[in-house]
Amino acid sequence: MTDFAATKARFHLPEGVIYLDGNSLGPLPKHASDRMAQVMQNEWGEMLITGWNKAGWMDQPTRVGDRIARLIGAQPGHVVMGDTLSIKVYQALASALKLNENRRVILSDSGNFPSDLYMAEGLISFLDQGHELRVVAPEEVEDAITDEVAVMMITEVDYRTGRMHDMKRLTAKAHQHGVVTVWDLAHTAGATPVDLAGADADFAVGCTYKYLNGGPGAPAFIYVNPRHANAALPALSGWLGHDAPFDFELNYRPAKGIQRMRVGTPPILALAALDAALDIWDMTDMAQVRAKSVALTERFIAGVEAACPMLRLASPRDAAQRGSQVSFAFPEGYAAIQALIARGVIGDFRAPDIMRFGFTPLYIDEGDVDAAVNIIADVMTNRLWDADAYKTRAKVT
């Protein structure tokens, strides 16, 4: 059994704060600062350049990748860390397009995180070969999978509403039509069980600063289905994706398997913080995390709806179709979120009118949910926000 009291005790949570924004930036694991100090002093400080071998820095991207693989239904050796999620989107998309180079349509949906769409736009415009980014409504994705589509690029859980796509069904239909899939797990990894191997997903990417608690701007990951791993060309073909980086050959030869998705020198300090955060994930079972997440979101929805009729649920009511967040639509949502933050309930706002709350069983429990509901009820019922002060749109992430 996952001991959620024990996992909660591993996080630094500021006094007086109920943190419902772990879907944007996870909190600090208490031991992460010590781990970082150790890596800085004992590895960087003492080993200097020899840390690349002695401290195992060079293998850190695959070693950490293997720890994440367990949480997303992948086998060891199929995930590697590096860069940012946007860069990994580009790399996956470029690889996927080359595997299907006679087609010209990239299918996505309007619930995708904009950066994924921007990366696709940049890629299309740079390629200049007549590709089309076809963005449909989330509920239209399934019907839009046709033989014309080269790549379906979808974020599994919608960053605004928490609506969840059915990875297995969409991937199966995609494959029936010869479509290569790219799944963005930004709001899934560490939030809901993922079964990349079971779904036969082609490529997947994700970030680690949300539910995985890796720290602000923590490195991204990429998964490549072993079926493609020796065929996919990464487009971003850096030296650490070379078959023999330290031979310093003048010509690129892709490494075998997932290694070819590496690009430049890995961010060792950032990986140290993430690695520490993953220690806590080793205490968990993902099915139990999901069960508790569902219980927390159900409890939150019931509490808020009972007390705040002015808030409209923007997330699916059916927990099976919902990630680990709950969103409510409210016209003065930005101002209301600021008032909640001032009262210690940290959620966030997403334009145009979404008040967003993340539920992460590793450090949020029923008592937190109830306390948050009480504060939200007070703030909303008594309109305790400064409407004038927040006429401008949100500037915070």
Q: Is 21 in the site for a second copy (CB under 8 A)?
A: yes
Residue 318 as a binder of a second copy (CB under 8 A): the answer is no
Judged by beta carbon, residue 291 or residue 329, the one nearer a second copy is 329
By CB under 8 A, which span of 214-222, 314-322, 365-373, 382-390 interacts with a second copy?
214-222
Tell me which stretch binds a second copy (CB under 8 A): 68-76, 208-216, 290-298, 381-389.
208-216
If one asks whether residue 230 binds a second copy (CB under 8 A), the answer comes out as no
Residue found under tokens 């024990």: 6
Decide if 113 is catalytic.
yes
Q: Which of residues 51-90 bind a second copy (CB under 8 A)?
A: 51-53, 57-58, 82-87, 90
Is residue 359 annotated as part of the catalytic site, yes or no? no
375 binds a second copy (CB under 8 A): no
184 is catalytic: yes
Q: Name, in order, each residue with C-beta under 8 angstroms of 246's C-beta and a sequence gap of 6 or more.
A: none
**Contact between 324 and a second copy (CB under 8 A)?**
no
Say which residues have a Cβ less than 8 Å from residue 379's Cβ, sequence separation at least 6.
336, 339, 340, 343, 385
CB of 351 vs a second copy, minimal distance in Å = 5
Cβ contact 365:3 at 8 Å: no
Strands 18-19 and 180-184: unpaired
Q: Which of 184, 202, 275, 368 is catalytic?
A: 184
Cis peptide preceding 352, ω within 30 of 0: yes
CB closer to a second copy, 223 vs 286: 223
Cβ at position 267, least distance to a second copy in Å: 4
Positions 247 through 286 that interact with a second copy (CB under 8 A): 247-252, 263-271, 273
Task: Return the residues of window 100-139 that contact a second copy according to CB under 8 A.
Answer: 110, 113-115, 117-119, 121-123, 125-129, 135
Which of 6, 231, 351, 387 is close enough to bind a second copy by CB under 8 A? 351
Q: Are 123 and 151 in contact (CB under 8 A)?
A: no
246 among known catalytic residues: no
At 373, give phi and psi (nearest 5°): -60, -40
- CA pair distance 294, 321, nearest whole angstrom: 11
Query: Judged by CB under 8 A, does residue 395 bind a second copy?
Result: yes
Q: Is 210 a catalytic residue?
A: yes
- Cα separation, 288 vs 290, in Å, equals 5
Beta carbons of 213 and 277 less than 8 angstroms apart:
yes
The rounded distance, in Å, linking the Cα atoms of 396 and 301 is 24
Q: What burial letters (b/e) apply to 179-214, b meaning 16+ CB within 10 Å?
A: bbbbbbbbbbbbbbbbebbebbbbbbbbbbbbbbbb
When the beta carbons of 155 and 171 are compared against a second copy, the nearer one is 155
Question: Using the rule CB under 8 A, which residue among 3, 6, 9, 33 binds a second copy?
Answer: 33
User: Catalytic residue among 160, 173, 322, 356, which?
Assistant: 356
* Catalytic positions, written as ranges: 113, 184, 209-210, 356
